[in-house]
């Protein structure tokens, strides 16, 4: 009987010290439903081809999301319109963009890159996160289409 009373007392004290919110309330505050988990995008991802699109670049493009919101990855080529202030026509040039920063808010991923040639030239692209699992990341952008990545192990 004494053991039962001691157990009840300890259980009461522990429950009084615990979080007063239910787990479902905590998940709702985070925008999650019961059963959902928060999967971090932090880590290294390797692009794989998406069905129906051109073959992925070789070697495969990589992106690494660091905990401090900096980024590393395979440089990407981007067309840049060069405005000529003289009477000559504008031209389109290619420049190498290097990933710099990232930010995630809900299902939106924003990536900032900077030209390797002209550091004043920056580009910000916003992607919709279609799917994020522990080993797969699917992104979509209206201009650039779909991208699929797997976690590098």
Domain ranges (residues) in the chain: 1-38, 39-151
User: Distance between CA atoms of 147 and 109, rounded to whole angstroms?
Assistant: 13
Quote the mean pLDDT of the chain.
75
Q: Strand order of the sheet with strand 145-151?
A: 71-73, 62-65, 43-48, 145-151, 136-141, 122-132, 108-115, 91-105, 76-82
Q: What is the pLDDT of residues 40-50, one digit of tens each?
A: 999 999 999 77
Partnered with residue 151 across adjacent β-strands are: 45
Terminal Cα distance for the chain, rounded: 54
**What share of the chain has pLDDT > 70, as a percent?**
60
Q: CA–CA separation, 89 vs 83, rounded Å?
A: 8
Give 39-151's CATH code, choosing from 2.40.128.280, 3.30.300.30, 3.40.50.300, 3.50.50.60: 2.40.128.280
- Give the lowest-confidence range in 27-36, 94-103, 113-122, 130-139: 27-36
Q: With a cut of 80, say whether residue 89 has pLDDT above it.
A: no
pLDDT at 27: 42
What pLDDT was estimated at residue 65? 96
> Which residue's entry shows tokens 């073959």?
55
| C-beta separation of 71 from 65 below 8 A | yes
Residue 71 tokens read as 């980024």
List the one residue out of 49, 44, 148, 144 whose CA is nearest residue 97.
144
Residue 90 has a pLDDT of 66
């Amino acid at each position: 009987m004494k053991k039962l009373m001691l157990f009840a007392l300890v259980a009461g004290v522990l429950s009084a010290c615990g979080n007063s919110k239910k787990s479902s309330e905590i998940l709702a505050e985070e925008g999650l439903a019961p059963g959902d988990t928060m999967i971090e995008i932090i880590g290294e991802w390797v692009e794989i081809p998406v069905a129906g699109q051109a073959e992925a670049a070789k070697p495969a493009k990589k992106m690494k999301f660091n905990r401090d919101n900096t980024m590393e990855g395979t440089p990407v080529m981007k067309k840049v319109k060069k405005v000529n202030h003289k009477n000559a026509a504008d031209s389109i040039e290619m420049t190498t963009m290097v990933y710099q920063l990232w930010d995630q808010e809900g299902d939106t991923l924003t990536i900032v890159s900077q030209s390797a040639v002209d550091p004043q030239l920056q580009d910000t692209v916003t992607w919709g996160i279609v799917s994020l699992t522990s080993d797969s990341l699917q992104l979509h952008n209206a201009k650039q289409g779909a991208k699929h990545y797997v976690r590098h192990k």
